[in-house]
Amino acid sequence: MEHPFTFFERFIPGVNHENLHVVTTCFVLLVLVGGVFLLYPRLRNASENVLPDSEISLKALFEIFLSMLTGLCEDMIGHGGKKYLPFVGSVFFFIFVSNLVGLIPGFLPPTENWVTGAAVATISFIAYNYFGFKEHGVGYFKHFLAPVSGGVTKSFIQWVLIMLPLCLFHVLFAGIELLSSFFRPITLSIRLYANIFADHMVLGIFSGLVPYLIPLPFMALGVFVAFIQAFIFTLLTTVYISGAVAHEH
């Protein structure tokens, strides 16, 4: 499949379109790690960071995103939602930076390859089920069953007429819930891949036709799409975590 010029394929031997997403993913991780080392000295003293910066800076942008993600965890998960912020934040920043890389000439976003989205979606799938088991233990399996009232077992006839059909319904309900759960990483990865692929294709077409000025609005739109797709992926992941750790009332 034809694709634009990329620096990694040009200057790193052995890199081709088949493994380019892996190399670009490693590059994104290096950028994120570098950003952490750059920001941590300025953020480690909370008493010195009460007031935001008076001008736009990397630190100010990070604080805005962090505040947004903190609010998302608290609103979706509820009490104790902040403890999931490191995982939720990691997912958001990785996808967001990966999407933004595609707007730089000479780079392809790793999220344009469905394998990258599938890998992150699989990690999210494993993570929210792990959080559920950690919160509920074996009782986590109750999330896959329909709620049952305990007032229908007063007699053997009621048990035969009501509980046995209800058990069959439980089997059907649990099967649907399990299938729905296993389809979640598939839908997450397909949604991310399709939107980033389409956005990068549109930007590439207009950049090739008119390389000056005209692509700028599409690049601005690309930044918006990069943020929205990262936010939607993170939002759905947070919703899944919320459902996994929720307690019945």
pLDDT of residue 91: 95
Q: Is residue 155 part of a domain?
A: no
Domain total of the chain:
1
In a domain, 153, yes or no: no
Alpha-carbon Rg for the chain, nearest whole angstrom, is: 23
pTM recorded for the entire structure:
0.83
pLDDT in tens, the chain (249 residues): 455 678 888 888 888 888 888 999 999 999 999 988 887 776 666 555 555 566 667 777 888 888 899 999 999 988 888 899 999 999 999 999 999 998 888 888 899 888 999 999 999 999 999 999 898 888 787 777 665 555 555 555 665 666 666 667 667 777 787 888 888 899 999 989 888 888 777 776 766 666 555 567 777 888 888 999 999 999 999 999 998 888 764
Contact 53, 59 (CB under 8 A): yes
Instruction: Label each residue of 143-176 as H, E or C.
Output: HHCCCCCHHHCCCHHHHHHHHHHHHHHHHHHHHH
Q: Is residue 72 included in any domain, yes or no?
A: yes
Cα(177)–Cα(89) distance, rounded to whole angstroms?
A: 27
Domain contains 48? yes
**Inside any domain, residue 49:** yes
Confirm whether 211 is domain-assigned.
yes
Helix (H) or strand (E) holding 202: helix 164-209
Q: Report if residue 24 sits inside a domain.
A: yes
In angstroms, how far is CA 162 from the centroid of its own chain? 42
The Cα 58–Cα 102 span in angstroms is 20
What contacts 242, CB < 8 A, 6 or more positions away?
A: 76, 77, 78, 81
Q: Is residue 46 part of a domain?
A: yes
The residue range of the domain holding 114 is 7-143+193-245
Tokens of residue 23, six digits: 């190399």
| Burial class of residue 247 in the structure, from the number of CB atoms within 10 Å of its CB (0-12 exposed, 13-18 middle, 19+ buried) | exposed
Q: What is the reported pLDDT for 172?
A: 75
